[in-house]
Structure 1
Amino acid sequence: MNIALVTGSAGLIGSESVAFMADKFDLVIGVDNNLREYFFGADGNTEWNKNRIQEAYTNYRHYSADIREVNQLEPIFKEYGADIKLIIHAAAQPSHDWAAREPFTDFGVNAVGTLNMLEMTRLHAPEAVFIFTSTNKVYGDNPNYLPLVELETRWEIDESHPYFTNGIDENHSIDHTKHSIFGASKVAADIMVQEYGKYFGMKTAVFRGGCLTGPNHSGAQLHGFLAYLMKCAITGNHYTIFGYKGKQVRDNIHSHDLVNMFWHFYQNPRPGEVYNAGGGRFANCSMLEAIELCEKITGNKLSFSYSDTNRIGDHIWYVSDLSKFKQHYPGWNWEFGLVETLTQIHDGIASRLGLKTV
């Protein structure tokens, strides 16, 4: 039997992974205990998404296990063992604001949980491909010291810099910088995943995501900015921009495009590899530009205000360079641009709210 195991399976990337892999594996196992609701309250509740994928995929099996507890993971790995061919580890505490409230919880989920998953894989399914969803926050605020230029609606890197054409590559330093507590816990996990590939020879890969987004995101104020921004545009709720005049730039990758990267890696794994994974120059926007797009799609004016205080360790400008991955896997490319992605997010939120879409 061929089995794919997905942690954080009711979240954005986890549920996309379940959908993507359901027709490629005999069984897809999901591990998710809805900790996102604890992090972000009702906005973060993923129960609706768990129910959706359980109804949609007959070969999906859900476990409400906590990745921080080996005694909850080990029975799953013992039951399925070497039949597990692919592991997508997408469970995380994803907010750098929230992490400072409970560093033990943040590190427990992000770092200890990842080590638990790696060790269970090494002991029970050592030939499995292990894919980890890391983050661009492992670079800390080093990107903020690049030569940036303020334009009318965004910050941009100086066109003379090597990063101007394609964005920030994997050689950008992760050292000597402020990461946020979240960024530091993800660095620990990121390095450990690399090490299990390089030291033990396991088929591990790190994908350092930009803004991961899509229609099944339970966006909240502290995480999932495009989904939460669109939700505010639809409902009329107030939105607050934190720092940088709203000109901070993010690249955005649709969850399907990211999981398709995983699939390409699975078919030809390169142990211990690291890839940046975002929208790159194909799909990026500033906060102000995202607001304009949300207003255009919804037909509503967004109620928003500025806070002069930026989030600690936040990026002023970040665009991922995916050249390395595209060189290794030339059959992959983006499928969903920014407008199409935002339109899907709008329609998904409107549907869950019981609103009609055009």
Structure 2
Amino acid sequence: MKWFITGGCGFIGTNLIRRLVDEGGHAIRVYDNLSVGGRSDLEHITSFTEPDPDSLEGGPENEVELIVGDIRNEGLVQRAVEGADVIVHLAAQSGVPSSVEDPRHDFQMNALGTFNLLEAARHNKVGRFVFASSAAPIGECEPPIHEEMACKPKAPYGASKLAGEGYCSAYHGTFGLDTVSLRFGNVYGPLSGHKSSVVAKFIRRAMQGKVLEVYGDGQQTRDFIHTHDLTRAIMLAATQPDIGGELFQIATNSETTVNDLAAMLVEILKEETSLDQIDIVHTEPRAGDVRRNYSDTSKAEEVLGWTPEMTLTEGLRRTVRSFQSGQK
């Protein structure tokens, strides 16, 4: 298959590309503005070529190509998508705090950027469009979160992701584009050294000899999913027949408090590293955060044939080891 992956130099993108390269037989075009991940992150995974963005023709011919560009650039997106069999749209403004600080930028990246990709997919007759969403569109609710719940976003980030889901549904219903939206849980794993998500942040701060900062009382809950399971779900979403227009929760169907996560990580860090003193402090709650969050993944199991395999303990241990080995 010919894959077009936006945000491919980022955390999830590099994990997905590594999986595709290991499997072999794929041509991959990465589209990234290098605002988070960079060329060095992609180089860590695979060799690649970098064709001239002004003279693109057809899909990727080499195993991996990198196009440096912004998803808000409609013309470049249209040219870059040509020849792709599947689009995996990972590029996004991905933080709740950032969306609160600059909601206009959040809208432009997540809503307008997704619209540009869908238009490119439609005009280039791409076979499948996989959209990376999250649980944020749901907002505050009584979990577990499932696909039939009404959405009431609490932060601009959730609203912009909901807009993306809505446009995916509309482009399937109106234009027949095979779109699949995946609501990721809290993703962690290797290659997350530059991530601000809680697992990566805790590991990085501990290894720097800094205290672990927990927002509020730490009793807020999340559903943590390892990249081993997540990338498998993305590949199924890209290839499984007869799932156009569908939405899936991709998480682990388990609820973990941030306090419990911190305690688990402290124990694992002490076992796996030379650290013997790791302190935890509580700070002010963060604006826009929901209190409880975990997902019912039964639809993904029934329709995609996907279930998570990695336990949180094993996943955290592997992630700590990846930071130790320099594969951050």
The code of the aligned residue for 2:14 comes to S
**What is the aligned length?**
309
1:230 to 199, 203, 225: 203
Answer yes or no: is the 8 Å Cα contact 2:206–2:278 preserved in 1: yes
Per-residue deviation, 1:71? 2.2
Secondary structure of residue in 1 paired with 2:17: helix
| Match in the other structure for 1:49 | 41
Per-residue deviation, 1:202? 1.1
Report whether the alignment pairs 1:292 with 2:263: yes
Answer yes or no: is the 8 Å Cα contact 1:46–1:218 preserved in 2: no
Per-residue deviation, 1:269? 3.9
Answer yes or no: is the 8 Å Cα contact 2:8–2:32 preserved in 1: yes
| Match in the other structure for 1:17 | 16
The code of the aligned residue for 1:291 comes to A
| Match in the other structure for 2:288 | 313
2:183 to 203, 208, 218: 208
Secondary structure of residue in 2 paired with 1:325: helix
Answer yes or no: is the 8 Å Cα contact 2:18–2:46 preserved in 1: no
| Match in the other structure for 2:240 | 267
Mapped partners of 1:24, 1:129: distance in 2 = 20
Q: CA offsets per residue over residues 127-167 of structure 1, 9 Å max, x none? A: 421100101000112x2xx3xxxxxxxxxxxxxxxx5xxx2
| Match in the other structure for 1:42 | none
Q: Percent identity?
A: 25
Mapped partners of 1:353, 1:129: distance in 2 = 31
Per-residue deviation, 1:188? 1.0
Per-residue deviation, 1:174? 0.3
| Match in the other structure for 1:60 | 64
| Match in the other structure for 2:53 | none
Normalization by structure 1: what TM-score?
0.81
Answer yes or no: is the 8 Å Cα contact 2:31–2:68 preserved in 1: yes
Normalization by structure 2: what TM-score?
0.88
| Match in the other structure for 1:87 | 87
1:335-350 alignment to 2 at 5 Å? 335-350=309-324
| Match in the other structure for 1:28 | 28
Secondary structure of residue in 2 paired with 1:312: coil
Once the two structures are overlaid, the 10-residue window that deviates more, 63-72 or 114-123, is: 63-72
| Match in the other structure for 1:130 | 129
Mapped partners of 1:180, 1:256: distance in 2 = 28
Report whether the alignment pairs 1:172 with 2:143: no
Per-residue deviation, 1:231? 1.4
The code of the aligned residue for 1:12 comes to F
Long gaps (5+) in structure 1: 37-44, 147-162
Mapped partners of 1:4, 1:25: distance in 2 = 11
Mapped partners of 1:174, 1:274: distance in 2 = 13
Report whether the alignment pairs 1:72 with 2:76: yes
Report whether the alignment pairs 1:326 with 2:301: yes
Distance 1:20 1:232, change over 3 A: same
Q: CA offsets per residue over residues 291-341 of structure 1, 9 Å max, x none? A: 11111111133333212x3222312221111001111133x2222111121
Report whether the alignment pairs 1:185 with 2:160: yes
Answer yes or no: is the 8 Å Cα contact 2:6–2:88 preserved in 1: yes
2:212 to 232, 239, 248: 239
Over aligned residue pairs, what C-alpha RMSD do you find? Answer: 2.1
